[in-house]
Amino acid sequence: MRANAAAGWIELLYKVVGPGLHALAARKAGDELSLLGPIGRPFAVHAERPRVLLLGGGVGIPPMVFLAERLAAQGGWKPLVLMGSEVPFPFRPRPSAIIVPGIPAGCIACLPLLEEWGVPCRLASCADFPGCFSGFVTELAAAWLESLTPAELAQVEICACGPTAMLAASTQLARRYQLPCQVSLEEFMACAVGGCAGCTVLVRTGAGAAMKRVCVDGPVFDAYTVF
């Protein structure tokens, strides 16, 4: 979710589900862990499209925080972070102090950390959480995109991470507005170094269909080659 190479630390956000994550959660301050990373291909934003729309769904939220922090630190970018979840968010939302034209009235909940960096953020959910947009995060994104002028749309690029159904919907949204779109895929990874080929997905290439490994060829792909 966050990293600082100069200071020598990384921050992970995880949900305790299976035995491996229960073991990780049992670690205490000062314990040593063996880690491998970073691996794979990250998001690659483009200067000609500074209005980067970051869509995070569920476990796709941490990578959007990571990318938003990088963009905020570099300057010159105008990111907007939209996050969706059907379970309580892994942070305490608060009303946003940053006005975002095109966002539906009543959608005011945000991630405080992003606001501290000056990055506008809004939350969506079908679970009726206070201040959240009532619906999918892609529906919230569609409402914002619909409010933009053609000149503003020409500056937008979508970066999305979350469940496969959400990524497919993000791609459909990008296609509707003829926007470039990158997706970070979720797959179970056994080795994470490209050896087992257990995380392959079907991708369209210039030479035809091909199986690509999410761990090293991805996890970020051009959305149109996957969906």
Instruction: Find out whether 212 and 218 touch, Cβ atoms under 8 Å.
Output: yes
pLDDT of residue 35: 87
| The pLDDT of residue 202 | 95
**Is residue 222's pLDDT more than 90?**
yes
Cα–Cα nearest to 88, from 125, 143, 35:
125
What pLDDT does 37 receive? Answer: 84
Please name each of the domains of the chain with its CATH number: 46-184 (3.40.50.80), 187-221 (no CATH)
* Angle formed by the axes of helices 164-176 and 137-146, nearest 10°: 10
Mean pLDDT of the chain: 95
Per-residue pLDDT, 52: 98
Strand order of the β-sheet with 220-222 is: 133-134, 121-125, 80-84, 51-57, 156-161, 181-184, 220-222
Q: Which residue, 15, 153, 166, 157, is CA-closest to 83? A: 166
Mean pLDDT calculated for residue range 85-101: 95
- Proportion of the chain in helix, strand, coil states, percent, rounded to 5: 25, 25, 50
pLDDT score recorded for residue 186: 87
Q: What is the pLDDT of residue 182?
A: 98
- Residue 202 pairs in a beta bridge with 211
Instruction: Check pLDDT > 90 for residue 36.
Output: no
Q: Residue 11: CB partners within 8 Å, gap ≥ 6?
A: 1, 2, 3
Q: Degrees (nearest 5) of the Cα angle 57, 61, 63?
A: 125
In this prediction, residues 16-45 reach a mean pLDDT of 92
Question: Which pLDDT band, with edges at 50, 70 and 90, does 15 fall under?
Answer: confident
- Banded model confidence at residue 172, pLDDT cuts 50, 70, 90: very high
CA distances from 119 to 9, 53, 111, 163, 213 (A): 22, 11, 10, 24, 32
Neighbour tally for 108: CB within 10 Å:
19
Using the predicted structure, report yes or no on whether residue 61 has a pLDDT greater than 90: yes
DSSP state of 48: T
User: Of the candidates 219, 114, 101, which has an alpha carbon nearest to the alpha carbon of residue 167?
Assistant: 219
Q: Is the pLDDT of residue 118 over 90?
A: yes
Specify the residue for token string 């995880």. Answer: 14
CB neighbour class for 85 (10 Å; exposed up to 12, middle 13-18, buried from 19): buried
pLDDT of residue 171: 98
